[in-house]
Amino acid sequence: MQADFMNKKKKVLVAMSGGVDSSVAAALLKQKGFEVVGMYMRFFPGTARQNKPISEEKSAEAAACMGIEHYTIDLSSEFYKEVINYFIKEYTLGNTPNPCVVCNPFMKFDTLLTESRRIGASYIATGHYVRIGSDPETHRFYLKRAVDKKKDQSYFLCLLSQRQLSQTLTPLGDISKNRVVEKAEALHLPAAGQKESQEICFIPDNDYVSFIREKAKAGFAKGPIMDKKGNILGEHRGYARFTIGQRRGLRLSAPHPLYVLDIEPNKNAVIVGPEERLYKNRFKANRLNWISGQTLKSPLLVKAQIRYKHRAQEAIVSPKGHEMVQVEFKKPQRAVTPGQSVVFYDGDTLLGGGTIIRDRT
């Protein structure tokens, strides 16, 4: 953590989901001498949250166990408008969005900062596995991968601003997940032993197709499945059911496996081909954020990561106007997917990120 712990009575507002990570983050801060206040952010209206493995009730129980103040803030309306609508829209455009990357800066961190000012807290904190620090010479804050590389979540925080980083504590960045679990068990926290959810928080059973279909008609009309030459090979039941690199659900008979290479919403078409056609070494990205706050002026050698589980690879990122960059990998990468985030690293330091766009040029 980057805070100076000499002042033991600084107040910190902790985002508490009820899970192990955020509960232990709050406990560690309390042990450091902070005055800790826990806040649960309710993203789902009515009783929908009751079906989630991590709940408002567990958050309150964890706070009670630690003897800290706790309250809930209802963000269900804002969450639907800013995150769920974005998620649905991107799929109807033929993209594969990453809602967590959008939710973190514009819902979670902005809300935490607003609430911290209201209650007089000096810091905000989360249970993310990431390290935040500052450069004494430039006075700018930086974001680094967690010590536990398997749990590192810096990818999801690529859109954070200097203002957000300057007030954020991340107690779990320097410790392992195993140590966090041990800590939860030692403190008898309610979340100890709780299984982690790997699903998108607002998608029941991870069935995103059914979720989108209930709320949008675009992207679910029947259309052609074609090869790169325009030959029609079959029929799909909606391009929103597919993402780049997908093989299942095509229902095609072919002498070799076929994969989704592209989606063309204007033609209501899904483009397929052999796996080797999935590899590309060049693409463009927009919606850029540079952690330093400074815009890229010239080509830069980085390690680029194109999805959460992707291993970052060497690439050159070059400015293409004020709002766009071109990314060129040294070696072609599989399934570069429009809508997903691309994140740039220098070693363990996260430089920034953006959104992969569909480039027809």
Distance CA 248, CA 159 (A): 32
CA distance 45 to 30: 31
CA distance 141 to 162: 6
Residues 65, 100, 158, 201: which is the catalytic one? 201
> How far is the C-alpha of 221 from the C-alpha of 72, rounded, in Å?
41
User: Encoding tokens for residue 51?
Assistant: 């079906």
3-state SS track over the chain: CCCCCCCCCCEEEEECCCCHHHHHHHHHHHHCCCEEEEEEEECCCCCHHHHCCCCHHHHHHHHHHHCCEEEEEECHHHHHHHHHHHHHHHHHCCCCCCHHHHHHHHHHHHHHHHHHHHHCCCEEECCCCEEEEECCCCCCEEEEECCCCCCCCHHHHCCCCHHHHHCEECHHHHCCHHHHHHHHHHCCCCCCCCCCCCCCCCCHHHCHHHHHHHHCCCCCCCEEEECCCCCEEEEECCHHHCCCCCCCCCCCCCCCCCEEEEEEHHHCEEEEECHHHHEEEEEEEEEEEECCCCCCCCCEEEEEECCCCCCCEEEEEEECCCCCEEEEEEEEEECCCCCCEEEEEECCEEEEEEEEECCCC
Which of 65, 100, 103, 158 is the catalytic position? 103
Q: How far apart are CA 154 and CA 349, in angstroms?
A: 9
201 noted as active-site residue: yes
Q: Is 103 a catalytic residue?
A: yes
**Residues recognised as catalytic:** 103, 201
